[in-house]
Each structure stands twice: as C-alpha cells, then as structure tokens.
Amino acid sequence: MPGERLNEQHAVPAWVLGVEVQHHRAGNVERNAKVWAGVLGVERSTVIVGVEFDDEAEEAIFAVRPRKRAKGRCGRCQRRCPGYDQGEGRRQWRAPDLGLYRTFLEADAPRVTCREHGVVVASVPWARHDARHTTVFEDTVAWMATRASKSTLELLLRIAPMRQPPAVVAATGRSAA
C-alpha cells in the first residue's frame, strides 16, 4: 500500500498521516528520545522521561527534566544556587503542535536561592524565566507575528484571541540582545 511505504521511508508516525492506530503509547521513550527532542526543539540539556497522548483532548504531554548539569540554576542569571524548596508542584509549558495534537512539556519547578535575585524558580533549558511557553513556541509566535495577521496567528498556532501584541513577542525581543 502506498501509505505504508511512505511511512516506512520517512519514519512519519501513522497518526500524522491520518492512519488509524490502535493505541498511541510512546513505547520505548529512551529509544525515541532523540527524535522527540528534535521534533520539540529542546536542547541536549533536556531529558525526555515519558510521553502521553490524550486522544479525546487531542493533547500530547511530554514529561521532561533538566540534565544534572542544568539543574539548580537561577532562572534569571543562570548561576548555580542552593535549593530552596520543591515549588508549587509540576508545571506545563506550551510547545509547538505535533500535527493535530496541542503539545505541552511538563516538569517539576523547584525554587532556588540566588545571592543576587533571592528565591526564584530554577531555570529550565526549554523555556525563558517566567514563561508559560517553550522558547521554540515563543520564537515561532514572534516570527509569525511579523509576517501574518493576528487572526491567522490565532488560527494556525491555536492560541487565544489577541487584543494586543503577544507577550511572547516582547519577551523574545528582550532576550535577543
């Protein structure tokens, strides 16, 4: 069948091609981690621990954590800092969609004590400090905001209607210096 051959040649997940699959479990996450990292646009300092696909909500949630060398750093200045507490539990960051699935990265968000900034949420390699979106998602929104109308941006990225320029555009502009 032509669709099966295309799937084998290009390693495209069957659900992206619209082929019916019995279940969407991640299987061997370690074996697929490099592929998932590339698709999500996360750095080498990010470990993908697991993935869950929620077919009803059309969401993909990736459990991630920073590698040891990236843990325990101030979210503002990136200095190594002693831990303060475990924060308020797990957080989610919106990532670019995987086909029809809205995608999120989920991880613990501990706090650290920085000499300069006091108690802050520890840095994560996939997002800027105080962001609710991954760096890749923010960069995509910022790029599209300069090239498309707000309604197109809202439709393609499935984000809430905007009354003013998105905060991610401002955040991206500040850190680009």
Of 95 and 16, the one with more pLDDT = 95
Domain range spanning residue 142?
Answer: 133-177
Does 104 reside within a domain? no
Q: What is the pLDDT of residues 7-65, one digit of tens each?
A: 343 344 444 444 333 344 545 566 677 788 888 888 888 998 888 999 999 999 999 99
Does 166 reside within a domain? yes
33: left (phi over 0), alpha (psi -120 to 50) or beta: alpha
CA–CA gap between residue 56 and residue 9 (Å, rounded): 29
Does 80 reside within a domain? no
Does 143 reside within a domain? yes
Of 165 and 158, the one with more pLDDT = 158
Strand partners, 118: 114
Question: Looking at residues 147-160, what average pLDDT do you find?
Answer: 88
Task: Assess contact for 114 and 79: CB atoms under 8 A.
Answer: yes
What backbone phi and psi angles, to 5 degrees, belong to 107?
A: -155, 165
Rg over CA atoms, the chain:
18
Weakest-pLDDT range from 39-53, 74-88, 131-145: 39-53
Does 35 reside within a domain? no
**Residue in 96, 94, 93 with CA at minimum distance from that of residue 144:** 96
Look at the chain and report how many structural domains it folds into: 1
- pTM for the complete prediction? 0.74
In which order are the strands placed within the sheet that holds 90-98?
A: 46-54, 59-66, 101-108, 90-98
**What per-residue confidence (pLDDT) applies to 40?**
87
Does 1 reside within a domain? no
**What per-residue confidence (pLDDT) applies to 28?**
59
Does 152 reside within a domain? yes
Structure tokens given for 57: 């909500």
**What per-residue confidence (pLDDT) applies to 17?**
43
Does 170 reside within a domain? yes
Question: Looking at residues 98-106, what average pLDDT do you find?
Answer: 93
